[in-house]
Structure 1
Amino acid sequence: MTTCPTPESSWWLPVAAVSDVNGGGPLAVTRCDQPLVLWHDGAELRAFTDRCPHRGARLSMGRVHGGQLECPYHGWRFGGDGRCRHVPALPDFTPPAGHAAHAWQVREAHGLCWVAPAGASAEPPHAPPLLADLPARRLLCGPYDVATSAPRVVENFLDTAHFGLVHEGWLGARDHLRVPDYQVVPDAHGRPGVPDYRAWQPRASAVAGAGAWVAYRYQVLSPYSALLTKKAEGDAPQEAYALWACPTEPDRCRVWFTIFTSDDTLPDDALVAFQDTIFSQDRPVLESQHPRLLPVSGGELHCAADRLSVAYRRWLQAQGITFGVC
């Protein structure tokens, strides 16, 4: 089984936490309406289209046996390259090369399993993003399954004008709703970002004990991911938040956040609880937006405070992205 090439096909996307496959799998996941199965052959992580080429059964319902993925229906076994290695009904039969499951590229990065079609580039910017000069302590939060499109979630992550309303008392305050002038600057790959943004926040992070002015830096990493680095005034720890969204359907997605922090005092569960709280404030608003697909061709109004959002929409158009937008 093959899939039709689309602009989204050239980008690597996260589909599961590495810890979810540590037991070897198989694990059913979805990428852009495409059912996949993740499993481990004992040496490497593998990803196949979740369909046995024999009679179409879900391979994720099978088991890993002797380093091979076994179909639950007739027991056909497939090696890590997708080739069928054994047909129980014909034990003396040597399956030809065409008897194969559809294999995908897969790699681990940032605590997540990333997949891409066999022909997709493994080089930047389409490969899993390389993140440098960030705090060493890293914590994965999620997944969060959200009833809206992945681009809606990314745009919300890039938006600062909602802080004092949606995150009042946390990331913003009603007496600090004004969005300062800022500049959108593309990086070497043309991805939009904001290198310098200053925001007042009552509680900028799980570590913060009081309000402070915080220096922000935003960077779009891919059509469905972005990075925020932030540093409060004084001796506050350096922090960064990476958003990873996987479109499961055009109007639904699965989301993770990676927290990077130089703080070594708070336990992991306190940091996760902070991120859970912030996203629980975003979720009802995100799921109320209509349409769920992000309008990149018009239909919504903009103002000067939306410079980064507008730049992100235009960049999606320039990339030819169609999944999750309208």
Structure 2
Amino acid sequence: MAAEWGYWHPVWRADSLSPGELVTTVLLSEQVVLWRDLDQGLIHAAVDRCPHRGAALSLGRIEGGQLRCAYHGWCFDQRGQCTEVPALPHFSPPKSFRLNRYDVRIEYGLVWLARGNAQMPLFEAEADTSRRHLLCGPYKVKASAPRIVENFLDMGHFAFVHEHLLGHRDHCEIPDYHVVHDAWGLVVESAQAWQPKASADASEAALVDYRYEVRAPFQAALYKGKQRDGIALFICPHEPERSTVWFRLALFDLETSDDILLEFQNRIFAQDLPIVESQQPKCLPLEQSLELHCAADKASVAYRRYLREHAIRFGTI
């Protein structure tokens, strides 16, 4: 099994999948069917292929707690076991008649999938009940997941891509910072950036402290400012050059409306999007000699090393 399957991956907003609904998506180049059953409202996932004759299960329908294939009407229960073959009404399907299922978890407002013993990325701010939690996205991106993570870790672009919001060309210097490794992954400490408007509720420019954490190859988080507002980046890697992005906010701002917070996050990512989608090659080069680097790029260089050390190949070259 590829190293990428050692981690949980987000694939859908949990609140956008209704009971009895079937949807299809792609994860790590595998076609996936998701459904929420009508009995208990639980979410299930399997490879979007009936094991009988290969038809897409997402063309079928949910009957109670079971999924019925649209082609020959085979029915599968919540465990993926075939319970009925309509052409053979007296046939008892053996245990081998089953779907290729994924493990499913609901975390951070998203549906996550994995196979076997996988690691869920840690976003510590989620457990803080004094914070305000908000999910932003989905954002469809024609870029590799590693390119998107690297952009998230990059502070040097603030003054140019996010001028007058997260940076300004008159204050584009990035002071030296530290990159360390802990038991859970990669950490960027003591980073700072001068920002005209660091957040939706900011009223004046400030030199803002940043801490970044990479807890899984395609997920990252930052903590900024004196209050350490948290923003997590969660990515579904569909194909090597196609992804979906969500941001999970964990803020101490309890007054600004959801609409204003969402508008601010949408505005920031809309500025990033054409840049990230324009990068060539679209997959992230892991060999240092393929691109140029400077001292301000320590975080991205460390991230590329982290991917190499964890044998991550999806979305990289």
* Superposition map of 1:190-269 within 5 A: 191-232=185-226, 238-269=228-259
Distance in 2 between the 1:24 and 1:309 partners?
43
- CA deviations on 1:25-81 (whole Å, 9 max, x unpaired) are 211121111111111233332111110001111111111102001111111110111
Tell me what 1:305 maps to.
Answer: 296
Tell me what 2:161 maps to.
Answer: 166
Q: Which amino acid aligns with 1:93?
A: F
Is the 8 Å Cα contact of residues 4 and 314 (structure 2) preserved in structure 1? yes
Tell me what 2:11 maps to.
Answer: 15
Is the 8 Å Cα contact of residues 70 and 77 (structure 1) preserved in structure 2? yes
- Mark the runs of 5 or more structure 2 residues left unpaired by the alignment: none
- CA deviations on 1:111-144 (whole Å, 9 max, x unpaired) are 0000011x233xxxx2242524645211111111
Determine if the alignment matches structure 1 residue 31 to structure 2 residue 32. no
More deviation, 61-70/276-285: 61-70
63, 71, 74: which one pairs with 1:73?
71
- CA deviations on 1:141-172 (whole Å, 9 max, x unpaired) are 11111011000000000000000000000000
Tell me what 2:117 maps to.
Answer: 120
Distance in 1 between the 2:233 and 2:6 partners?
19
Change in CA separation of 1:219 and 1:238 when aligned onto 2, cut-off 3 Å: closer
Tell me what 1:186 maps to.
Answer: 181
Is the 8 Å Cα contact of residues 114 and 128 (structure 1) preserved in structure 2? no
Is the 8 Å Cα contact of residues 20 and 63 (structure 2) preserved in structure 1? no
Tell me what 2:135 maps to.
Answer: 140
Tell me what 2:310 maps to.
Answer: 319
Q: Which amino acid aligns with 2:76?
A: F
Q: Which amino acid aligns with 2:242?
A: R
Determine if the alignment matches structure 1 residue 129 to structure 2 residue 122. yes
Residue identity over aligned pairs, in percent, reads 48
* Alignment size in residue pairs: 312
- RMSD of Structure 2 on Structure 1 (CA): 1.3
- Mark the runs of 5 or more structure 1 residues left unpaired by the alignment: none
Distance in 2 between the 1:81 and 1:128 partners?
25
Deviation at 1:238, TM superposition (A): 4.6
- CA deviations on 1:194-232 (whole Å, 9 max, x unpaired) are 122222100101111221121111101210010011115
Tell me what 1:153 maps to.
Answer: 148
Distance in 2 between the 1:279 and 1:100 partners?
41
Deviation at 1:246, TM superposition (A): 1.1
TM-score where L is the length of structure 2: 0.95
Q: Which amino acid aligns with 2:281?
A: P
Q: Which amino acid aligns with 2:173?
A: R
User: What is the SS of the residue equivalent to 1:60?
Assistant: helix
Distance in 2 between the 1:239 and 1:260 partners?
6
User: What is the SS of the residue equivalent to 1:184?
Assistant: strand
Distance in 2 between the 1:161 and 1:87 partners?
59
